[in-house]
Amino acid sequence: MTDIAVFIDRDGTINHDPGYLGDPDHAFLIENAGKGLAILKNELGYKIFVVSNQSGISRGLISRENVDAVNERINELLLKDGAGIDKFYYCPHHPDFSPDAECSCRKPLTGMIERAAKEFDIDLSRSFMIGDSKSDIECGKNAGLRTILVKTGNGIEHFDILRLQNNLPDYISENLYEACIKIKELTQLEN
């Protein structure tokens, strides 16, 4: 039986985004992020995956080890609310800084989502993407996911861009917690 998953952008969606976050001591969750993810994991039984562009690696600003350490710290913080991430996926590429790299993972491309779907047997047609940027929403749509734009991070600015392009997400939420409540409501309607 296939599982349902929620794919979530990291910086600006789960945690505050200071830009090229490489120090775990600077990783701070957005208010109630863990409580929201606990609803998805513990009440609904959904898998939770982070899919994150981390071009700071190819730019030489942070290392893979930095990203892994930040991911580990974010998971520690989330586990306090009983809501660990099942797996973190990230794209280290940027076309201006790694032009020779074969990349199918940089959002809005769907490589990270496709990889998770294969590794964990995920039903993408019933799954969701939550993020604060245009590339998150486009990635979710490209993968056939239902999409939720949060207003934290770059969400408000990117909503205006998406609106001008007539490419709106399926839903808009104030933050990750409210997006998780929306998913719970939708799930209850479908069952």
Tell me the C-alpha distance between 54 and 77, whole Å: 20
Cis peptide bond prior to 169, omega within 30° of 0: no
Among the listed residues 180, 154, 186, 190, the one whose alpha carbon sits nearest the alpha carbon of residue 8:
180
Domains of the chain (ranges, CATH numbers): 5-190 (3.40.50.1000)
Active site residue 9: yes
Annotated catalytic residue: which of 3, 11, 25, 123?
11
CA dihedral 146, 152, 158, 162 (to 10 degrees): 30
CA distance 5 to 140: 12
Percent pLDDT > 70 in the chain is: 98
Q: Give the count of beta carbons closer than 10 Å to the beta carbon of residue 1.
A: 4
pTM score: 0.96
Average pLDDT over residues 117-143: 98
Cα distance between residue 143 and residue 113, in whole Å? 7
pLDDT at 174: 98
- Say how far apart CA 79 and CA 75 lie, in whole Å: 6
Q: Which two tokens stand for residue 175?
A: 């933050």
Question: Is 90 exceeded by the pLDDT of residue 2?
Answer: no
Q: Which of 3, 9, 121, 160 is catalytic?
A: 9
Residue pLDDT, tens place only, 80-123 = 999 999 999 999 998 787 766 678 999 999 999 999 999 999 99
pLDDT digit string, tens, across residues 38-64:
999 999 999 999 999 999 999 999 999
